[in-house]
Structure 1
Amino acid sequence: MMSYKPLADSELLHLISKGKEQAFNELFNRYWDKLLQIAIHKLDDVMEAENIVQDVFVSLWKRRKALNITGNFQHYLLVAVKYRVIKALNHQRVRRLYFEEGHGSVDLLDDATQQYLDFAELRERLEQLVGNLPEKARLIYRMNKEEGMSYREIASELDITEKAVDAHLVRVKKVLRSGLQRFLSVYLFTFT
């Protein structure tokens, strides 16, 4: 039986795209503990953290044939966990506020609420920037970032080349980085 331990992440991802469960198991074993510890640290809830990390790996397996991860795979996983943690924290906040409103006491100035408001403001600014993009660039951005479609899938659906998809996303990233950089510099200097 082949040993998958010495293989690089990119090689394992290639094997996973071919349906090799052993390659998937190797990546799972390689990153599970680290991702779980990060999620636990952010959530203080072991079960919720386990669910998040498991969801990331389930999503990876389900999308194995269409995955197009060109950068560092560990970074990809960390970002995937980060966004799911943010989503879980938002859900917890909404539940907590709902419960507290029912009992007539809502502390709108606690740290979690302030962090959420700061995040909501950042998300609103990002949405404004995306809304100002040209129609095709906006569509490609949403297909890639919000729907999780690969460059190949987007190119196929829009009947353009993968290079055209890449070119659009490079321009979009520059616009968003510039717009958010100005926003964040004002925000960071206001609160430091």
Structure 2
Amino acid sequence: MKINSNHSETELITGLRNDEAQAFERVFHTYKGKLYSFSWRFLKNRELCEEIVQETLINLWTNRHQLDLNYPLGPYLYTIARRLTLNALRNAATAGSAREKLWKDLQEAHNETEEAILLADLMEFAEQAVAKLPKQQQLVFKLSRYEGLSHEEIAEKLNLSKSTVNNHLVEALKNLRHHFKNSGISYGLLLAYLPFMR
């Protein structure tokens, strides 16, 4: 996930871990509105929502040295905001049935938000990984997975033998698995979110 054109999320996390106030300011401006909107869906209270945004970002700064470079900031921040929102809801809702409904609604909204963020991160990572493949492997892989061409169609299009196309695909998948493994990202997780990788 790109925070802006000049700073990647990894650079931001590194900046936070190095106590850089500017990195925190960029995170603040990127996420304050999103976190506010998330808590507003349930609390409908301006002061409470502002408190949750503030507490979430204070928590981020307090725990900045423990941040994982391989774990996106979005899901981390939404997890904190969800917990704080739930606490506020628990204080507001006295009936057990009301609490259960609020928890269910909150859980569903959080899952949708986190999955959207995770999917965007995985898609970007996958694109970067494919771009690092050797040119011929990259071309064969894209024709197969992106355009849905068969081995025979790729062979004809590129004037290659069917076995050469198959070899390129096997090597491409092997290289991608290696790349994901070295980056600490589960290949299984990628398969779950990115069907074209199968």
Which TM-score tier does this pair reach, normalised by the shorter chain?
0.3 to 0.5
Per the normalisation by structure 2, the TM-score is 0.46
Structure whose CA Rg is larger: 2
Scaled by the length of structure 1, the TM-score of the pair is 0.47
